[in-house]
Copies of this chain bind each other. A is one copy, B any other.
Amino acid sequence: MTALSRSWLQLNNDQRTALAAKLRQSFTQLTSNRLSLDLTRGKPAASQLTLANGLDHQIDGDYTSREGTDVRNYGGLRGIIEARELGREIMDVPATNILIAGNSSLWLMHLTLETALRHGLWAGATPWQQSGQASGSVSLITPVPGYDRHFSLTDSHGIGMRNVGLHDDGPDMADVRKLIASDASIKGIWCVPKYANPTGCIYSDQVVREIAELPKVAAAKDFVVLWDNAYAVHDLVFPPPRLASLFEAAAKAGTQRHMVQFGSTSKITFAGAGISFVGSDESVLKRLEERISLITVGFDKLNQLRHARFLGGRVEAHMQQHAAILKPKFDLVVRKLEEDLGGLGIATWTEPKGGYFVSLDVLPGLAKKIVALAKETGLALTAAGATFPYGRDPEDRNIRIAPTFAETDALEAAMDVLTLCVCLASLDKLNAA
């Protein structure tokens, strides 16, 4: 498929009809090919996982942590010190302010929400659900587009969501402040501050400072920043872009108790068999630890020790190996978008310097249709709307592209299909207008 170099909005209907006929031929041929392509999977390729196979050789009979703990036995809810130091290297939070859990940072987010909602996030704090809102319901700010699992988790707790726009430098802070200043039922904000899912944007230093100040602006005195730094070190370029330290900004603002940061090694070592981190003020960690002590005897310290020994002090070097595999894939996606859709006026997309996604915005009202068209050919795309709470993209225009798992050939074939579907749907819309 070759693209015209000028905007399709300037073509007349006859020109677009002729073009559509030609593209439809390609599409018909594609559907008869019964492809099996998949751009939904935000997970590492096997070659990336192999980079961490060395994990399995770290123990070698030595089960003793630096502080003398036998990591095979029960106990130690905070995690062993060398793993907390690894957390510092990844999350830019002091080791003493980190608690380590199992293989899922999402679970730590769940724990944090549940604790804040039902028990209070600090000793003596009123739980959100009893904080005297007339409706009995509370909500969180959700910058959109965003991460679908944040939304489903929030909803599963009966917590509402208030969307604000996500710009290239972070959430629309004026909107955020306006919402939270007057409404005490808004109890927090979700943030993916570096390589946000799905846009790949990095919050600016200014935005990080402003976020650290939010608890002083919020009507809710128990406002919490949920800082999911899932892609903290998942850079494609080196030296990597640097995210300002929320921990330091909050220390300056005196709002440390209101910041809860999350991270994990899921996309650093093994996606399903890593360790997860929560970083916060001691008052919060203590509270979480109390809750944890009721529901488990402790997390897998053996895996903590493996990770600390394998990754400690060499996280960036390890991530460069990931980048060597991933950057060509991201480059391919952006090149295909540029080649096939560039200048046509029918789509915009992000060019992330890290993370796991490229975000594609098509003409309003077309995302669902394009995902359906792609499905006809055998290309699976993330459900349109998935990047918005309740799966509802108000403009029906955002499509999330996950390039990491596919092999290069399949990725190129998938991008051919995707851009063809975008073109077809866009021509139909423009002609119908």
Contacts and interface: CB of A to CB of B under 8 A. Distances in A.
A301 interface: yes
Interface residues of A, number: 43
| Copies of this protein, total | 2
Interface in A28-44: 43-44
A103 interface: yes
Given A53-B61, A56-B59, A74 B271 contact: yes
A414 to B, nearest CB: 19
A180 B273 CA distance: 43
Contacts of A102: 102-103, 299-300
A298 interface: yes
A17 to B, nearest CB: 44
Interface string A39-57: 0000110100100110010
A301 B270 CA distance: 10
Contacts of A104: 295-298
Interface string A257-270: 00000000010001
Q: Which applies to chain A's interface (DSSP): helix, strand, loop or mixed?
A: loop
B70 A49 contact: yes
A408 to B, nearest CB: 18
Contacts of A75: 43, 272
A71 interface: yes
Given A59-B56, A103-B102, A72 B295 contact: no
A271 B43 CA distance: 30
Interface in A109-145: 110
A432 interface: no
A294 B75 CA distance: 27
Contacts of A299: 102-103, 272
A71 B301 contact: no
Nearest to A305: B273
Contacts of A173: none
Contacts of A302: 270, 272-273
Interface in A288-309: 294-303
A156 interface: yes
Contact of A272 (B49, B59, B72, B294): B72
A160 to B, nearest CB: 16
B153 A295 contact: yes
Given A102-B102, A298-B272, A49 B73 contact: yes
Contacts of A43: 73-75
Contact of A297 (B61, B70, B106, B294): B106
A390 interface: no
Given A153-B294, A295-B153, A303-B300, A271 B106 contact: no
A271 B73 contact: yes
A70 B53 contact: no
Interface string A93-106: 00000000011101
30 contacts: A43-B74, A46-B70, A46-B73, A52-B72, A71-B272, A71-B273, A72-B272, A72-B273, A74-B272, A76-B272, A102-B102, A102-B103, A103-B298, A103-B299, A103-B300, A104-B298, A110-B296, A149-B294, A152-B294, A153-B294, A153-B295, A156-B294, A156-B295, A266-B297, A270-B302, A272-B298, A272-B299, A272-B300, A273-B301, A273-B303
The 3 closest A-B pairs by CB, nearest first: A273-B302, A104-B296, A72-B270
